[in-house]
Structure 1
Amino acid sequence: MSRARTRIRWNGAAVLGRARAGAARGLRLGAEHLLAESRTEVPIAEGTLERSGTATVDERDLVAGVSYDTPYAARVHEDLTARHSPGRKAKFLEDPANREAGAIGELIAAEVRRAMRG
């Protein structure tokens, strides 16, 4: 009876690099998705607040962010007593972030899987 031999080569650095690259792409897609969703709810007076929205990704730390950059963005976001046009409201970023968390997680996971196959 002969013994079968198997040789395995583990390319850990390459695997980790691909996974990180996929995660970064997924974070970018997730942040852009959240930005698009929040733009459907952001109050519009002149459109300045909506246009100030940005999605950013720190690929080194694998962190993404969506922000609105006007002096009044936080006040508009938090003021639950203000009146807005139909479909527009306070919590225009927080609510979509909570609602879309699962979809964003799936976008990230799909990009990591895609990177690992490639």
Structure 2
Amino acid sequence: MSRARVRWNAQPAERAARAGALRGLRLGGEHLLEVSNQRVPIEEGTLERSGTVTVDEANLDTVVSYDTPYAIRQHEELEYRHDEGREAKFLERSLDEEGAVILDLIAAQVRRSLRG
């Protein structure tokens, strides 16, 4: 009877998976911002240009946000009238519709990193 001893060093795999997750979070956030920008109310483009993606590497979180004094009001006010294709809830609806795509982007980057 032959024996084999296997030692598993998980650290390289964990580092690779984390690096892939971070890339995926960035790509997913950029995708969400792009889709949301196609819906964001637009008059001069200031709100659209204020959109950013921030990745918190420590917590593996991504935030997509708009930074104008009126961003929240434009997002939440359902009674405002907008140009065709532009709407309130532009970020929320984009996330609802693109959530599966974003998860696929993250998963693909993790798989890619693990293949090394």
Q: Tell me which interval the TM-score lies in, with the shorter structure as reference length.
A: over 0.9
Normalising by structure 1, what TM-score?
0.96
Say how many residue pairs are matched. Answer: 116
CA offset digits 1:55-86 (Å, max 9, x no partner) = 11011110001000000000000000000000
- Aligned AA (2:30): E
Of the candidates 53, 57, 79, which is equivalent to residue 55 of structure 1? 53
Match of 2:109 in 1: 111
Equivalent-residue separation in structure 2 for 1:106 and 1:45 (angstroms): 33
TM-score, with length taken from structure 2: 0.97
Query: Which residue does the alignment assign to 2:98?
Result: 100
User: What does 1:4-15 correspond to in 2, within 5 Å?
Assistant: 4-15=2-13
The partner residue of 1:46 within 39, 44, 47 is 44
4+ runs deviating over 2 angstroms: none
What SS does the aligned partner of 1:8 have?
A: coil
User: Which ranges of structure 1 fall in alignment gaps of 5 or more residues?
Assistant: none
Tell me which structure has the larger Cα radius of gyration: 1
Structure 2 unaligned blocks of 5 or more = none
Question: How much has 1:7 moved relative to structure 2?
Answer: 2.6
Q: Aligned match of 2:63 in 62, 65, 75?
A: 65
- Superposed CA deviations along residues 5-41 of structure 1, whole A, max 9, x for unmatched, are 2232311111111111110000000000000000000
Query: What is the RMSD computed on CA atoms of the aligned residues?
Result: 0.7
